[in-house]
Structure 1
Amino acid sequence: MVYRMGGIFYNVYIKKEKIYKVDYKSDRILPILLITIEYIAILIAEKLSLIIQNNMPYTAGKFYIPDIFFYIVIPSIYIFFVSHTKVNERFIFFWETMQRTFYAVLYSEIFCIIALYVFKSSNYLSRSYIVIFFMISFLSLYLFRQLLVKTCNRLNILKTPVIFVGNGKATEDIIYFTNHNNCFGIKVVDIVEEIEDINQLRKNIISKIEQLNVKTVIIAIPNLEKNKLLDLVEDIQPLVRNLMFVPNTIGIPVINLEVKKLYESNMLLLSIKNNLAKKTNRRIKRIFDILFSLLTIVIIIPLSVIVIILIMIESPGAAPIFKHYRVGRGGILFPCYKFRSMVPNAQEKLQEYLKNNPEAKMEWDKYFKLRNDPRITKIGKIIRKTSIDELPQFINVLKGEMSWVGPRPIIEDEIHYYGKYIKDYYAVLPGITGMWQVNGRSNTEYKERVSLDVWYVRNWSIWIDIALICKTIKTVFCGKGAY
């Protein structure tokens, strides 16, 4: 089967000719393998932390951890909290894995400190070691897990066998998600096509479950009537280990959605949080912006000096940094700083070029960018390709006019493209990077840009910001979609 998703083709191969019983050894192997990997990751983190601690200047004596704590107590606590925070779930974004790993490490460290005090072993504690071990154990656990995920997916092993009910877009999206988010994937064993006759559909599903011995079924029909869905759930649930279904919540922000269970009424109450509506979260985002700016300033300033010199050599007399007014939070215009990547008379040259080139005019109207822009200088092509031209915007971040992560800053002529969603844009600071920059950049049509900006505003969390910065670095190095 070939599915078209988001402008790309994705293949799902299902053997229809011959039915194979599913081997469930992988379901038993994976938990053991994960525990083993986590144990090794913690031991390595402990050892590295000890080496760093004992080689720090002004360390009074050699710090050590008794074997019982080093090999048994500390790893056991960490493995418990990794399981408790559900780090190894299959249907989560990679940044959620990062978030859950962070909390698992945080809870583990607190519990380890308490345990050492309870067992009167507090003399083994060192404040510097606690900080060092926190950072290294977080990186070690996360990286070891990602390495295991990538290895398993590359070798196509340890994937959960799944029968899908419904052959529409929901099925396509789930398959695509599990294979593109650094999580343990799924093996599509079969897809039961949706039909009107619910009794026949139920028989088809049960027949596939019995033939294939599959223990996970996903009903991917969001618009299925409630009574029909209940009938399917009642008959299928006793036959499988995991039964999942896609509720009709398409279009609703789901990242910050919480499920409240009303047991007596047998109902679910869905709660949607607007994180950026809270002053505390806006302050956290602002603090993150300032700290990240200060951390990266040692890279930004030397690189900026080099770029300024090169621009002055190529375009003598022209200011190396220019400001262009963009629409900020609340619709207020602000001067957005960039390195000069165009010739001084850029606007006049653009109008003349568009007038003489109808195809370029169509491209400009669609993307607000040109692949072969006659205004761009030689140095400009390099700094735009690598996004270095946007480095001066860290000044806007420090001034509070922009954020490191947010919607792409727009000009006044672009406001009408947002329509009713312009309120979402006005609600936050525009960003140096964001969803648009890591999802195609210049190749993304404007309608998609708007939907990406709206998604970000409605689903914001600090972990999404961290993840987008990491993905931006990868995208910039690959030079994907930039011109």
Structure 2
Amino acid sequence: MLKEKIYKMDYYSEKILTVLLLIFEYIAIIVAEKISLIIQNNIPYTAGKFYIPDIYFYLVIPAIYIFFVEHTKVNERFIFFWETMQRTFYAVLYSEIFCIIALYVFKSSNYLSRSYIVIFFMISFLSLYLFRQLLVKTCNRLNILKTPVIFVGNGKATEDIIYFTNHNNCFGIKVADIVEEIEDISQLRKNIIRKIEQLKVKTIIIAIPNLEKNKLLDLVEDIQPLVRNLMFVPNTVGIPVINLEVKKIYESNMLLLSIRNNLAKKTNRRIKRIFDIVFSLLTMVIIIPVSIIVMILIMIESPGAAPIFKHYRVGRGGTLFPCYKFRSMVPNAKEKLQEYLKNNPEAKIEWDKYFKLKNDPRITKIGKIIRKTSIDELPQFINVLKGEMSWVGPRPIIKDEIHYYGKYIKDYYAVLPGITGMWQVSGRSEIGYKDRVSLDVWYVRNWSIWIDITLILKTIKIVLFRKGAY
């Protein structure tokens, strides 16, 4: 019974999911077209009502979009949240270009409207992404349409893969069984084949990164003919894998791993800078009114004290710059801290480890609120506009913290420090400095604009739920 149940689950889940994705993608495109038409036809001073013939509206355009969604592998299971956004963006971009070319080729360019093209680009991107997320959330909540997988190896690699698929907006996997790693490769092979025959599962993941090449080759040669998908975890521990590309040298049956350093390219640094400026200008509508209210409250609680103070931090290339923040502490904060640490040994240990205190005696009443909500960091958008900081990057450190980075300080120096970053969305004040350094290095070595967008979205979520900030 178990064998038949798992086999049917494996066989039908992929087919059902494929059909559901096609339906959701089609609906997403139709909805995007409808919304875009409503917006287009309500823009003042446009020349008449814009329309799209039914054959294009209901057939040609959705077909083109669905083709490029599949072509860019938007629905792949083992990809990050931000990679889904990236692939959806390119699918929409390619689709729009193809649609424009097709309309010109078939002499239907009179249906084109430049404003509609721009509107539809943005709306279709959001619609495709949100409809997909709706399907992902529904499937995961109901715990359905997950691919059954047999894992080989019961170590950390297996745990990490399972955790990844359950926490990254993936459609997920269902662990059918785990075959424990043993030294006897012949017996291990027999155990795997027996599980495949028992459960009829068509996806195998060999999660043993340190497995010897010859043993791995033996397993692959014997198992591959028995399954539909065979994956294995190569030994790439410590290598920044997000920007890693696989080059296939067919004649030698060899793989060449290429690692891109995105921030080494001037074009990417310019893109990051343009994003910072545009995002700063867009958010000023919210930042300025909130800042005025906060400054008034600070001046009421601490008369005579400047509502914004600057503290010199280490920036790109190791240069110091004035980092702006709203005042959240009493004017004699330094003296009060020294006295408190002297009389509280436990607080001294906490300060030496995190450079922060959960119960900081220097913080004012309004200071507790703006720190908890991270509003105290809003003035740093001035640093962003000045080119001293970025919206996303390693948090700016003081000179006394440089030694914590050791040999990785070059990674920190390579980029502008950020208002938010990997540390903030991964636990903030709840994680130690060693982990903070690892996160900063990971960000620098794996940067992409999509990671920046994702980290900003995650930061907003964390700030709203007030997790890990003090």
Fold conserved (TM > 0.5)?
yes
Instruction: Tell me by how many angstroms 1:23 deviates.
Output: 4.8
2:456 is the alignment partner of 1:469 = yes
Alignment partner for residue 295 of structure 1, among 257, 282, 298? 282
Question: 2:75 aligned with 1:85, yes or no?
Answer: no
Identify, as 1 or 2, the structure richer in helix. 2
Supply the distance in 1 between the matched residues of 2:322 and 2:87 (Cα, whole angstroms).
38
Structure 1 position 170, deviation (Å): 0.3
State the Cα deviation string for residues 89-128 of structure 1 (Å, max 9, x = none): 0000010000000000000000001111111111110000
- 1:423-456 deviations in Å (ceiling 9; x for gaps): 1001110000000011111101111100000000
What's the RMSD between the two structures over aligned residues? 1.3
Q: How far did residue 24 of structure 1 move? A: 1.9
Contact kept in structure 2, 1:21 and 1:212, CA below 8 Å? no
Partner of residue 56, structure 2: 69
CA distance in 2, matches of 1:333, 1:97: 37
Quick check: 1:245 aligned with 2:269?
no
Structure 2 residue 356 is matched with structure 1 residue 379: no
CA contact (8 A) 2:373 2:464 kept: yes
CA distance in 2, matches of 1:162, 1:467: 29
Q: Secondary structure at the match of 1:43?
A: helix
Structure 1 unaligned segments of length 5 or more: list them.
1-15
Q: CA deviation at 1:59?
A: 1.6
Work out the CA distance in 2 between the residues paired with 1:39 and 1:298.
Answer: 36
What does the per-residue CA deviation read over 1:146-171, in whole Å, with 9 as the maximum and x for residues that have no partner? Answer: 01001000000000000000000000
Q: CA offsets per residue over residues 290-326 of structure 1, 9 Å max, x none?
A: 1111111111111100000000000000000000000
Distance in 2 separating the partners of 1:359 and 1:24: 58
* 2:149 aligned partner: 162
Matches within 5 A, 1:321-400: 321-400=308-387
Q: Note the C-alpha offset of 1:20.
A: 7.9
Report if the CA contact (8 A) 1:325-1:333 is conserved. yes
Q: Is 2:92 the partner of 1:112?
A: no
CA positional deviation for 1:345 = 0.5
Determine the C-alpha separation between the residues in 2 that align with 1:21 and 1:47: 39
Question: Does the 8 Å CA contact 1:342/1:377 hold for their aligned counterparts?
Answer: yes
SS of 1:17's partner is helix
Q: Which residue of 2 aligns with 1:216?
A: 203
Q: Structure 1 residues 287, 19: closer, same or farther in 2, change over 3 A?
A: closer
CA–CA distance in 1 between the matches of 2:152 and 2:337? 53
Structure 2's unaligned 5+ residue stretches are: none
Alpha-carbon distance in 2 for matches of 1:17, 1:31: 21
1:437 is paired with a residue whose SS is helix
Q: Answer whether contact 2:6 2:148 (CA < 8 A) is retained.
A: no
Matched residue of 1:370: which SS?
Answer: coil
CA contact (8 A) 2:6 2:201 kept: no
Displacement of 1:22 in angstroms is 4.6
Contact kept in structure 2, 1:407 and 1:435, CA below 8 Å:
yes
Contact 2:276 2:384 in 1 (8 A): yes
Structure 2 counterparts to residues 119-138 of structure 1, below 5 A:
119-138=106-125
1:253–1:455 CA contact under 8 A, matched in 2: yes
Task: Give the superposition deviation at 1:480.
Answer: 0.4
Shift of 1:367: 0.9
Structure 1 residue 406: Cα displacement: 0.3
Please give the secondary structure, in 1, of the residue aligned with 2:425.
Answer: coil
Tell me: CA distance 1:332–1:150, structure 2 relative to 1, closer, same or farther (3 Å): same
User: Counterparts of 1:131 and 1:230 in 2: how far apart (Å)?
Assistant: 51
Give the direction of change, closer, same or farther, for the CA distance of 1:93–1:193 in structure 2 (3 Å limit): same
Provide closer, same or farther for how the CA distance between residues 20 and 300 of structure 1 changes in structure 2, counting only shifts above 3 A.
same
Q: Distance in 2 between matches of 1:159 and 1:371?
A: 42
Work out the CA distance in 2 between the residues paired with 1:479 and 1:19.
42
Deviation at 1:348, TM superposition (A): 0.7
What is the SS of the residue equivalent to 1:190? strand
Q: Deviations over 1:151-195 (max 9, x none)?
A: 000000000000000000000000000000001100001000000
Alpha-carbon displacement from aligned partner over 1:40-70 (angstroms, at most 9, x marks no partner): 0000000010011111111211100000000
Pick closer, same or farther for the CA change 1:20–1:87 going to 2, 3 Å.
closer
Cα distance in 2 between the residues matched to 1:109 and 1:180: 32
Helix, strand or coil at the partner of 2:270: helix
| In 1: Cα distance, 2:277 partner to 2:8 partner | 56
Q: TM-score, normalised by structure 2?
A: 0.98
* C-alpha displacement of 1:19: 8.6
Q: By how many angstroms is 1:21 displaced?
A: 6.8
Q: Distance in 2 between matches of 1:18 and 1:147?
A: 27
Q: Please give the alpha-carbon distance, in whole angstroms, between the structure 2 residues aligned to 1:24 and 1:360.
A: 58
Residue range with higher mean Cα deviation, 275-284 or 214-223: 275-284
Change (3 A) 1:19 1:83: closer
Q: Across the two proteins, how many residue pairs are aligned to each other?
A: 468
Q: 1:281 to 1:325 in 2, by over 3 A?
A: same
Give the C-alpha shift of residue 17 in structure 1. Answer: 15
**For the structure 1 residues 82 and 19, does the alpha-carbon distance in structure 2 shift closer, same or farther, using more than 3 Å as the test?**
closer
Give the deviation of 1:280 after TM superposition.
Answer: 1.1
Maintained 8 Å contact 1:22/1:213: no
Structure 1 residue 18: Cα displacement: 11
Runs of 4+, deviation exceeding 4 Å = 16-23
Partner of 1:162, secondary structure, is strand
Tell me, in whole angstroms, the C-alpha distance in 1 between the residues paired with 2:5 and 2:276.
56
Q: What SS class does the counterpart of residue 118 from structure 2 fall into?
A: helix
TM-score, length-scaled by structure 1: 0.96
Contact 1:21/1:213 (CA < 8 Å) preserved in 2? Answer: no
Cα 1:210–1:17 shift into 2, 3 Å = closer
* Structure 1 position 259, deviation (Å): 0.4
Question: What is aligned with 1:95?
Answer: 82
Percent identical pairs in the alignment equals 90
**Counterpart-to-counterpart distance in 1, 2:239 and 2:4:** 40
1:27 CA drift (Å): 1.3
Describe the shift of the 1:110–1:366 C-alpha distance in structure 2 as closer, same or farther (beyond 3 A).
same
Are 1:22 and 1:214, in contact at CA under 8 Å, matched by a contact in 2?
no
Contact 1:165 1:219 in 2 (8 A): yes
Deviation at residue 457 of structure 1 after TM alignment: 0.3
- What SS class does the counterpart of residue 8 from structure 2 fall into? coil
1:19–1:211: 8 Å Cα contact kept in structure 2? no
CA drift at 1:365? 1.0
